[in-house]
Amino acid sequence: MSTHIGAKPGDIAQTVLMPGDPLRAKWAAEKFLDAPRCINEVRGMFGFTGTWRGNPVTIQGSGMGMPSLSIYANELIRDYGARTLIRIGSAGAMQENVNVRDVILAMTASSVGNPSRAMLREIHYAPHADYGLLRAAHDAAMARKTPVHVGGIYSSDTFYNERPDLHEQMVRHGILAVEMEAAELYTLAARHDCRALAVLTVSDHLITGEDLPAIEREQSFGDMVEIALEAAFA
């Protein structure tokens, strides 16, 4: 048991999928894992462990934003031995050629700052995905004929944007989408010699204003989860 995860030793698999929403963790575990069981409900941040094609998998909610994800990723790695961490979440598209419901594989994750910034000091570290996971996820998406984009994303500290000039520069420099967690996940994975990837479903579009209703978000996220699982065990 760690400070924020009530699982017992051996309850958490080395492969962990991390949605931000704990209820999405419950949905994904019940839909995609065999014999899932709840191994964490501290602060309502649900975690479940089961198997996928015979492979042990944990799906643990991470909360919203990099500080929250940092807590759970640190404890999963340091206290429970997680070695592969894949974020499965939503993102807002920032390019016209990216459509709602498309999947984005985040090769890099830019940010204004993340919880690791104090440790890195003056270094502008470039957080990036594990290439093996990235390649396997792209292969899985192509095999499923899922519309997929690979490139840089932006991990924002804020949900309600009051810096339109900053978003304009992200668009100008080819950033595919914005979300709130991947940059810290990639940094922690590098620090602890783990594998990490963010597999994201586009739920809304910052240019067109299109936005998926809640029920369609759930139904559209199935491809993302299966791509993440196939990549983890490729």
89 in a labelled binding site: yes
Q: Which amino acid is at 88?
A: I
**In which residue are the tokens 């031995």 written?**
81
Other CB atoms within a 10 A radius of the CB of residue 54 amount to: 7
24 in a labelled binding site: yes
87 in a labelled binding site: yes
Phi-psi domain of 206 (left: phi exceeds 0; alpha: psi -120 through 50; beta: other): alpha
Other CB atoms within a 10 A radius of the CB of residue 190 amount to: 16
Residues 6+ apart with CB under 8 A from 97: 149
**In which residue are the tokens 């080819």 written?**
174
20 in a labelled binding site: yes
Is 204 catalytic? The answer is: yes
179 in a labelled binding site: yes
Residues 6+ apart with CB under 8 A from 30: 36, 48
Choose, from 11, 204, 211, 223, the residue flagged as catalytic: 204
As annotated, the binding site for a purine D-ribonucleoside includes 4, 179-181, 203-204
As annotated, the binding site includes 4, 20, 24, 43, 87-90, 179-181, 203-204
**Residues carrying an active site annotation:** 204
As annotated, the binding site for phosphate includes 20, 24, 43, 87-90
